[in-house]
Amino acid sequence: MKKTYNKSLLFLTLIVLLSSIFLSACQPKPPKAWWKDVVFYEIFVRSFKDSNGDGIGDFNGIIEMLDYLNDGDPNTTHDLGIGGIWLMPINPSPSYHGYDVSDYKAVNPDYGTLEDFKNLIKECHKRGIRVVMDFVINHTASDHPWFEGSIDPESEYRDWYVWTDKRPDNTSGPWGSNAWYQKGGTWYYAPFWSEMPDLNYHTPEVTEAIYDATKFWLDLGVDGFRVDAARYLYEEGYILQDSPKTIKWFQDWYRYYLKLNDRAYTVGEVWTDTSMIKRYNQPTKGMEQYFMFDLAKDLVGSVYSPSAWRASGAFTKALDAFPRGDFASFLTNHDQNRLASVLDEDLTKQKLAAFLLLTGPGTPYLYYGEEIGMTGEKPDEDIRKPMQWSDKNYGGFSRTIPWRRLNDGWTVNNVEAQNADPDSLLNWYRQLINLRNSQALLRTGNYLPIQSNCRSLYVVLREQDGQQMLVIANLKDDTVENCSLTIKESTIQGEYTAEMLMGAPLFESISFEENGALTEWSIERAIEAAETFIIILNP
């Protein structure tokens, strides 16, 4: 049968196609190291916003609420000013949380389609929001076709997982709990759970498959990855975590993905002390950043039991390991009791913790709902509950019963209610993020702690390129008086006048000695409980 074509239709189709390609090619790349200038927001898709009334959050629900995070207009202040989102696992999974992946190149149908996800990326990028996805590559789900195939000793996938014919003499995993399970008369390694079998990175094909998945998502438009359980890729004898081969794998992967996209970003969950995390970037980088768990613990602790030097010392320790501030800072995340619960729902302490985080070095991460003081204590499901948007049915999260019951008190503690209260925690976060976005010193300035005889008085000098500011907070719930400031040396000298960015006037001017020192320089007025200041110093 002879085919006939409508030439006009073909011509129009060609024009549309070429225009699409041209516009795509002309999309501006984000600047290198863009992550240093943004605040990230961690989202559990299942709990953020349900768009289709099935009680489960989804991609389209996030799109509906993007203007809450960032409306794309830097001149407005009613949005949070978020510059990046970290999506907890979006791959197909048999578990509600998604940390056991069934397919590395697909999305969870509970959350929508691949086209929905592409649209989410497009809408985020329109607003200047970068999209980072959770990458769970240490283990898979037990229903992953790779693992199901590997059960057969003759399968091509047998060596993709860690199998042994005999029960190991030592069945303990990295935390001392059982890590070996029997199936088909043989044993496999799964330290996280019997249904999360570990991939065997001693098999080159595993790395090839993960590289392939990396390329798939970067080609799709994802801006980077948060790597889950990064410590555990390789087992080398009795070394079950932080092995040399694990560290080397990430350094090789880093070079690989940068060839695909030199603006791609990675942040690692290496849940251990800072000194060990530092090894992942030696001798070369393994990821752009890592979450600083020591820092998070100390920031929250310094507010819970007021200690200025615990807070500044924690930042200093992180900077000693990563001198240019190449680390991810946070207060709590999806694996920990929520900040509001840890701080006994004390609004003042929550505000102080946010102040320390958002005026300090590093790239800050917020956990969804943290900005409105959502509560939650383990089990995990209760620290991952639906977002509280309003006092409408089901908290404005859904039109039907949500997958998990909302927190008590959602009718009074929600986004809509806090929007109307100028002194709310939500508006405090907005103010701090807006200041951080507008002040490069808060993002990337050098960080010099200043000592005070008032133990609860947190004082740091931020300086860079001839500009300087003081960040000050009284972490105590009482007034402090007769406070003095001391620093042995700094890079600035002479007298500076004070320009208040935040807080009531504290002093008119301050004088630094020739070597940049302050020697028991007195603050003349009392500083109220939990009072905070950001002060530009003008020469």
Active-site residue list: 228, 269
Give the pairing type, strands 180-183 and 186-189: antiparallel
Query: Looking at the DSSP assignment, which residues form a beta bridge with residue 486?
Result: 451
Between CA 328 and CA 342 the distance in angstroms is 21
The angle at the Cα of 152, spanning 147 to 158, to the nearest 5 degrees, equals 55
Q: At 523, give phi and psi (nearest 5°).
A: -95, 120
Between CA 69 and CA 39 the distance in angstroms is 10
Q: How far is CA 168 from CA 47, 239, 288, 482, in A?
A: 40, 15, 37, 65
Between CA 362 and CA 356 the distance in angstroms is 11
Between CA 57 and CA 43 the distance in angstroms is 10
Q: How far is CA 493 from the centre of its chain?
A: 37
**Side-by-side strand order, sheet with 186-189:** 163-164, 186-189, 180-183
| Number of neighbouring beta carbons within 10 Å of residue 330 | 24
Query: Looking at the DSSP assignment, which residues form a beta bridge with residue 511?
Result: 495
Q: CB within 8 A of 501, min separation 6: which ones?
A: 435, 439, 469, 534, 535, 536
Q: CB within 8 A of 26, min separation 6: which ones?
A: none
